[in-house]
Amino acid sequence: MVKAIRVYELGGPEVLKWEEVEVGNPKEGEIRVKNKAIGVNFIDIYFRTGVYNVPQIPYTPGTEAVGVVTAIGPGVCDLKIGDVVYHSGSATGTYTEEQIVSADRALALPVMDPLVVAAVMVKGLTARFLVKTWFKVERGHKVLVHAAAGGVGSVLCQWANMLGATVIGTVSTAEKALQAKEDGCHHIIIYNQEDFVTRVAEITSGEGVDVVFDSVGIDTFQGSLVCLKPRGYMVSYGQSSGTPEPVPLSALATKSLFLTRPSVRTSSFSKDEMREAMKEVLANVASNALRVRVNHTYPLSQAAQAHADMAARKTSGSIVLIPDGVAQ
């Protein structure tokens, strides 16, 4: 038996229960992994609250982790006991001390800090697809990034800056503004002190931005549309403040705007595409081209507190859960 977080009903952080679960032995094509570091992402909250549908209830939350292979099932040839692996790909399951994982969803890692990898991979993949697939950021583009000091926002600002864009970021505090500046934002807007729509117009001399990357949702959506230049792209990839109201097509026609709501889960990327993207994220981290901010760690047993703090915007950068007994 091992300890894990279990959810028996949808709701607030209080539905995250800490209890014992049975793991069992790996079957054909599976491995057993003892987790060392578990990434926390806003999608975990979306599943917990019912914004996204979970496969079943009860369930164990979590979409990514780094751990050590402790057992190998039949038919697994490219991994061995003792390998340190990153694993993801399913909707849920990683908020646990140990688990069974499909071997084709595990990637053997080079020598890297498990906390860093668990903190960056989902966020790094999201940022990578945002700036290279869902909208191709090019030198000279002006981009607006909401929640610039958040987990995805931090990586996104850095990546857009690497591609030669002028990056405008919104944050909630002066402390987060300093982080956003370090992460490549050329202009920072503290949104609860000044109107971001007005400031974007001032920064761009009234021209607007080429693209808005918006993970906030209802609080920023309408203003983001106003910030776009003609033929600009509104990329809504999250809704931390709530789901935006439906948009009439006529609202887009006023400036011939493009609107998309992308997700890694629904983009049907092939296994090879995902592996290459993962390696690209790791290479950028290893070369220090991307700074990974593991700003908050919590014991796995305190996952509810981690969720509460993230939802209340008390955190910045990435959050990682550490199973009890794992040395940091």
Q: For residue range 28-56, what is the model confidence (pLDDT) as tens digits?
A: 999 999 999 999 999 999 999 998 888 89
Cα 117 to the center of its chain, rounded Å:
12
In this prediction, residue 268 carries a pLDDT of 86
Give the three-state DSSP class for 318.
strand
Over residues 169-189, mean pLDDT: 96
Q: For residue range 308-321, what is the model confidence (pLDDT) as tens digits?
A: 999 988 888 899 99
Over residues 227-234, mean pLDDT: 98
Confidence of residue 114 (pLDDT cuts 50, 70, 90): very high
Which CATH class name applies to 121-260? alpha beta
In this prediction, residue 92 carries a pLDDT of 75
Domain range summary for the chain, segments of one domain joined by +: 2-109+293-322, 121-260
- For 253-256, the CB contacts below 8 A with 24+ separation are 255/228, 255/229, 255/230, 255/231, 256/230, 256/231
**CATH entry, 2-109+293-322, from 1.20.1250.20, 3.40.50.300, 3.90.180.10, 2.40.10.10:** 3.90.180.10
Confidence of residue 90 (pLDDT cuts 50, 70, 90): low
Over residues 153-180, mean pLDDT: 96
Sign of the Cα torsion 64, 70, 75, 79 reads: positive
Over residues 131-149, mean pLDDT: 97
Over residues 257-281, mean pLDDT: 91
Contact 2, 97 (CB under 8 A): yes
Confidence of residue 89 (pLDDT cuts 50, 70, 90): low
Write down the pTM of the prediction.
Answer: 0.89
